[in-house]
Amino acid sequence: MNQSLMVAFDVSDRRAALDLADSLAPGRGKAAKVGMELYYKEGAAVLQDLQERGFAIFLDLKLFDIPHTVEQAMLQLARLGVDYVTVHALGGRAMLEAARRGLERGANESGLPLPKLLAVTELTSISEDVLANQQNCRLPLEEQVVRLAQLAKSAGCDGVVCSALELKALHQQVGDDFFYLVPGIRMADAQVGDQVRVATPAQAKADGATAIVVGRPINQSEEPLAAYECYLADWHNSHSV
């Protein structure tokens, strides 16, 4: 299975999502990241469309609210049969633990597999300057990410979303038995867009990524399947830690 490479379905509506899915066919063994834009437009129905085409679903809504609200939201998301969901690690231990409880209840009540719970550390669009002067964080970026990952692991999360630049420190200080999902993936000659902390697939894998997310280089390509295969080949051309 190729769930080590998840494609961001950051498109505007169901028709665009299905066109992208069909261009990547066959879907079985592949994973689709459905984020806020598509989910808020089309709701759970588009998840079923993609599941019927064989895609695993990474539902990336980055929940961040009081613990009770997050727990009840996760209860509902677990009933959708998705494979991965996200919360913000900055929500704190009580919220992260509540998210886990909600997922477990939803999975148990629906009889569906338990989704992996991934905590977002710092977005790949965040720089040291933004962290210090806008988030007013006293820690360097790498240490901030490590601390948030340690919190997420102790609160019952299955992994974190982080940039490739923090992977070595995360493996050293959080452990190898954790899921490290890395967005901000670009080939060396590609434009980075609004990403700040980026890496190639091979660099991410070499530094210890469990999986990567690729968006615009695939979903805006004239040949999405060829772009997908290019990124997957680069991933396989490296050796993990």
Model pLDDT for residues 100-146, shown as the tens digit of each residue: 999 999 999 999 999 999 999 998 888 999 999 999 999 999 999 99
Summarize pLDDT for 138-152 with one digit per residue, the tens.
999 999 999 999 999
Name beta bridge partners: 160.
Answer: 119, 180
Determine the number of helices (DSSP H) and then strands (DSSP E) in the chain.
11, 8
- Is the CB of residue 88 less than 8 Å from the CB of residue 64? yes
153 is in an annotated binding site: no
Catalytic residue (choose from 30, 41, 62, 168) = 62
Nearest to 118 by CA among 148, 76, 79: 148
Task: Band the pLDDT of 238: cuts 50, 70, 90.
Answer: low
Q: Is the dihedral of CA 90, 92, 96, 99 positive or negative?
A: negative
Nearest to 45 by CA among 15, 6, 83: 15
147 is in an annotated binding site: no
Kind and range of the H or E run holding 232: helix 224-236
Q: Which amino acid is at 190?
A: A
186 is in an annotated binding site: yes
Torsion on CA atoms 11, 90, 64, 4, rounded to nearest 10 = 40
pTM for this predicted structure:
0.92
Catalytic (active site) residue 62: yes
pLDDT at 188: 72
Determine the Cα angle at 146 with ends 145 and 150, to 5°: 120
113 is in an annotated binding site: no
3-state secondary structure 128-157: HHHHHHCCCCCCCHHHHHHHHHHHHHHCCC
195 is in an annotated binding site: yes
Domain boundaries, the chain: 5-236
61 is in an annotated binding site: yes
200 is in an annotated binding site: no
Q: In CATH, what is the architecture of 5-236?
A: Alpha-Beta Barrel (3.20)
Tell me if the bond preceding 26 is cis, omega within 30° of 0.
Answer: yes
Summarize pLDDT for 151-180 with one digit per residue, the tens.
999 999 999 999 999 999 999 999 999 999
d(CA 115, CA 129): 34
pLDDT at 193: 52
3-state secondary structure of 182: strand
Determine the Cα angle at 120 with ends 52 and 42, to 5°: 35
